[in-house]
Amino acid sequence: MAPARRGPDGVGAGGAHDRYLAMPHVEKGMAVGLFGGSFNPPHPGHLLVAEIALKRLGLDQLWWMVTPGNPLKSRSMLLPLGERIALSENLARDPRIKVTAFEERLQTSFTASTLAHVVAANPGIRFVWIMGADSLQTFHRWQKWRDIADTVPIAVIDRPGATLSFLSSPAARALSFARVDENAARALVRRKAPAWTFIHGPRSPLSSTAIRLAGMRLPARADALKD
């Protein structure tokens, strides 16, 4: 696999510093949530999903995975990777949240491929995939979505919209046999995949699309990409 392109001072493609292009450090036995997205831009609704996952799943870490781009979405309005990392760092201050963009170095665009790399590289770590309920609605369109469900447990965090429609989506129906009661969410990371749960809680009406259309930008921390 070819290495990620690098510029001066260890800055790679898209303005991402090298330290964001490696997987975060973990210790064996940890429970780690994987929360991936383009975060274009990140907003408090994303942070709410991350905080709910940390609390309800009893996670040691949550990897906030800023992706090069979503294969199902247009990249015409995609902010540079380095800027999305900086905005994410500015927003996600909990030390358990690790902002990372290692998919840029792996050169993977699809979650199934990313998960295969992550699991193989981190034996002894219990991973769970984190997604918003709006993603569950289109999950059946993801490449090798059944492989994803067979690789790690999945926690679906409620988002604004018709919750019943999320739960009646093609993927939710196909995986109904593997659904875990929300009251047992803390045990999800110890279950063998396929296993998933739907977690209710506070919901934010914010969306990255609405923020882009309104021409809004969240302020980036000036030192977010410095050593």
Kindly report, residue by residue over 85-94, the tens digit of the pLDDT: 999 999 999 9
- Res. 211: pLDDT tops 80: no
User: Does residue 204 fall inside a structural domain?
Assistant: yes
- pLDDT band of 208, cuts 50, 70, 90: very low
CATH code where residue 125 lies:
3.40.50.620
The pTM (predicted TM-score) of the whole model is: 0.83
- Res. 207: pLDDT tops 60: no
Q: How many domains does the chain have?
A: 1
- CA pair distance 170, 212, nearest whole angstrom: 29
User: Does residue 39 fall inside a structural domain?
Assistant: yes
Range of the structural domain that residue 65 is part of:
24-213
- Res. 121: pLDDT tops 70: yes
- pLDDT band of 215, cuts 50, 70, 90: low
Contact call for residues 126 and 189 (beta carbons, < 8 A): yes
Closest residue by Cα to residue 62 from 138, 194, 137, 155: 155
Average pLDDT over residues 136-147: 95
User: Does residue 86 fall inside a structural domain?
Assistant: yes
Q: Which residues contact 66 (CB under 8 A, 6 or more apart)?
A: 20, 37, 38, 39, 81, 84, 85, 88, 99, 100, 101
